[in-house]
Amino acid sequence: MSEYLIEIKNLHKYFGKNEVLKGLDIQIKKGEVVVMIGPSGSGKSTFLRTMNLLEKPTKGEVYFEGTNIADKSVDVFKHREKMGMVFQQFNLFPNMTVLDNLTLAPIKTGRMTKEEATIKAKELLERVDLSDKEVAYPQSLSGGQQQRVAIARALAMNPDVMLFDEPTSALDPEMVGEVLSVMQELAKEGMTMVVVTHEMGFAKNVADRVLFMADGVIVEQGAPIEVFDSPKEKRTQDFLAKVL
């Protein structure tokens, strides 16, 4: 068994003739918090989506807990259940209460009984400080509250890794902090996390490792202090000069 929870080898993704991911090799250990930064259009979302097979890799291997989930013979759904994903646009089920949003997947997949799923959901809502919103519908919540529900919903399946795609980019500025603090708490508890974000403060404070992606390749990676304080590559320097 590999020492890595996730190991990606020579990952390529084309959309038609457009090569969006150009041969990525990335290893992630259990408990690691990896933050991916980079310009818009560089392939960050495609990378996350390919990692949990929402997009099919054109070429390459994606080992998750020792199994190459890019292999056609593998039951992707079974493995994807162990990868929680949080999107920029929350993607909550609008016609369900907050509690039902959390219990749906655990019940539907047969992982939990309704009672078990409900107990777990209530615990999670308490953790994200939304116990009073169990019977509320998503559209009655603020963006920050919706995103905290989305995080709790992903956690309801007891994932082994959490993938975040710009989770605070759609939020009003005053709500960014409440979402980042939930994420920081998760990181502290030892959750393995891959986070695409423009929140450089979060990257500096919470990441074990920062990856800078541009034009479908990992240009540079290292501890936050290395990447932010002494970037080696010109492309990293130029990007940081714009965002910091």
Binding site for ligand ADP (CB under 6 A): 15, 20, 38, 40-46
Q: Which of residues 126-155 bind Mg ion (CB under 5 A)?
A: none
Report which of 212, 180, 203, 207 is spatially closest to residue 44, judged by C-alpha positions: 212
Q: How many chain residues bind Mg ion (CB under 5 A)?
A: 2
Helices 143-155 and 173-188 pack at an angle, to 10 degrees, of: 20
Interior CA angle at 60 toward 56 and 62, to 5°? 75
**Interface region with Mg ion, contact rule CB under 5 A, candidates 24-32, 40-48, 79-87, 152-160:** 40-48
Q: Lay out the sheet containing 33-37: strands in order across.
A: 83-86, 161-165, 192-196, 33-37, 209-214, 217-222
- Nearest distance in Å: CB 132, ligand ADP: 34
- Nearest distance in Å: CB 103, ligand ADP: 31
| Binding at 139: pick from ligand ADP, Mg ion, none (beta carbon under 5-8 Å per type) | none
| Binding at 52: pick from ligand ADP, Mg ion, none (beta carbon under 5-8 Å per type) | none
50 touches Mg ion by CB under 5 A:
no
State which residue has the least CB distance to Mg ion: 45
What CA–CA distance (Å, rounded) separates 124 from 105? 14
Task: Please identify, using beta-carbon distances, which residue of 123 and 215 lies nearer to ligand ADP.
Answer: 215
| Binding at 106: pick from ligand ADP, Mg ion, none (beta carbon under 5-8 Å per type) | none
**Interface region with Mg ion, contact rule CB under 5 A, candidates 41-49, 69-77, 102-110, 210-218:** 41-49
Report which residue type is found at 139. Q
**Interface region with Mg ion, contact rule CB under 5 A, candidates 10-18, 24-32, 38-46, 122-130:** 38-46
| Binding at 46: pick from ligand ADP, Mg ion, none (beta carbon under 5-8 Å per type) | ligand ADP
- Nearest distance in Å: CB 216, ligand ADP: 8
Task: Please identify, using beta-carbon distances, which residue of 45 and 236 lies nearer to Mg ion.
Answer: 45
45 touches Mg ion by CB under 5 A:
yes
42 touches Mg ion by CB under 5 A:
no
210, β-bridge pairs: 35, 222
| Binding at 43: pick from ligand ADP, Mg ion, none (beta carbon under 5-8 Å per type) | ligand ADP
- Interface positions with Mg ion (CB under 5 A): 44-45
